[in-house]
């Protein structure tokens, strides 16, 4: 199964000083995964043009889809568009459509179109603005060689609807027609280390599945392991069946001597 490779870039010093937990990255990673992409890297970088440029170039050289969040606001450290333009060797220009968006946003509000607000209408030449249904700053969409680059704001309540209404739609032509499903089983009474060889055997039921164990209890004393199986197939029925085969086989193996008090429950 071919899956396009995606990189997620989250931008902001507040992430590098640990002030904020990066929930945007997890949200985007989940969305991209279930849409059929393979997320290969998540990179967090500060509000520094050179650093953002370096990460953008790495990302564009190694992936089909790049999504960035953060750094689109009105303050001086909001420099993502400048960095995108620099990474692509494009000038930053006042985008007519983005300007309409920004003007419309402020038209009903007691706010002047100051240089800080006009900045939000500056996009790399040729970029398409991504409408922001909630906030002032539009995003940007640029096709670069084999990659699609989407530049989104960092505020989650702006970023999420922009991804769902614009990005997901633009990705359709390059994503495979796949259904991605996840099934999980909680195994009690078998330490993760003892479960490992059983998992290895059960995983053979579906070599394209992604199988991972997450220890939840205390290893060896009261082991509790959450096993997750992620399956991708042309139809959801097939994906469900593939994941179920791994879990069924694992339950057989656990029941058949994995541990005295072993039990499991499928979700």
Query: Given the rule CB under 8 A, which residues bind a second copy?
Result: 13-23, 25-33, 39-46, 51, 55, 73-77, 105-106, 109-111, 114, 116-117, 135-136, 155, 182, 191-197, 199-200, 210, 212-215, 219-221, 228, 230
> Mapping DSSP to helix (H, G, I), strand (E, B) and coil, where does residue 62 land?
helix
Q: Which is nearer to a second copy, 146 or 204 (CB)?
A: 204
Least distance to a second copy, CB of residue 126, Å: 26
Cα–Cα distance for residue pair 66/86, rounded to 1 Å: 16
Least distance to a second copy, CB of residue 119, Å: 9
* Opening angle at CA 247, ends 254 and 262, nearest 5: 25
C-alpha to C-alpha distances, 117 to 15, 137, 185, nearest whole angstrom: 24, 8, 51
Q: Which is nearer to a second copy, 125 or 212 (CB)?
A: 212
Q: Which is nearer to a second copy, 114 or 165 (CB)?
A: 114
Q: Which is nearer to a second copy, 1 or 193 (CB)?
A: 193
Least distance to a second copy, CB of residue 31, Å: 7
Q: Which is nearer to a second copy, 129 or 142 (CB)?
A: 129
Residue 153: DSSP 8-state:
-
Least distance to a second copy, CB of residue 44, Å: 4
Least distance to a second copy, CB of residue 66, Å: 15
Residue 174: DSSP 8-state:
G
**Residues with Cβ within 8 Å of residue 251, at least 6 apart in sequence:** 185, 264, 266
Cα–Cα distance for residue pair 82/93, rounded to 1 Å: 10
Nearest to 25 by CA among 46, 4, 11: 11
């Amino acid at each position: 199964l071919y899956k396009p490779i995606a990189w997620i870039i989250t931008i902001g010093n507040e992430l590098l000083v640990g002030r904020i937990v990066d929930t945007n990255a997890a949200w985007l990673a989940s969305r991209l995964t279930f849409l059929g992409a393979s997320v290969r890297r998540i990179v967090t970088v500060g509000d520094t043009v050179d650093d953002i440029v370096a990460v953008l170039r790495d990302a564009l050289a190694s992936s089909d889809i790049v999504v960035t969040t953060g750094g689109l606001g009105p303050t001086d450290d909001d420099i993502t568009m400048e960095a995108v333009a620099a990474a692509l060797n494009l000038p930053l220009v006042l985008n007519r459509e983005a300007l309409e968006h920004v003007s419309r946003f402020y038209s009903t509000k007691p706010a002047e179109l100051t240089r800080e607000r006009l900045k939000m209408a500056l996009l790399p030449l040729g970029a398409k603005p991504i409408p922001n249904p909630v906030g002032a700053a539009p995003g940007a969409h640029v096709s670069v060689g084999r990659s699609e680059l989407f530049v989104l704001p960092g505020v989650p309540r702006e970023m999420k609807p922009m991804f769902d209404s614009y990005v997901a739609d633009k990705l359709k032509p390059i994503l495979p027609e796949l259904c991605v499903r996840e099934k999980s089983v909680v195994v009690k009474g078998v330490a993760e280390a003892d479960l490992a060889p059983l998992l290895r055997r059960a995983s053979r039921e579906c070599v394209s599945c992604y199988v991972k164990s997450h220890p939840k209890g205390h290893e060896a004393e009261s082991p509790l392991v959450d096993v997750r199986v992620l399956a991708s197939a042309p139809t959801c029925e097939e994906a469900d069946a593939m994941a179920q085969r791994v879990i069924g086989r694992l339950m057989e193996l656990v029941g058949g001597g994995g541990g005295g008090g072993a039990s499991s429950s499928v979700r």
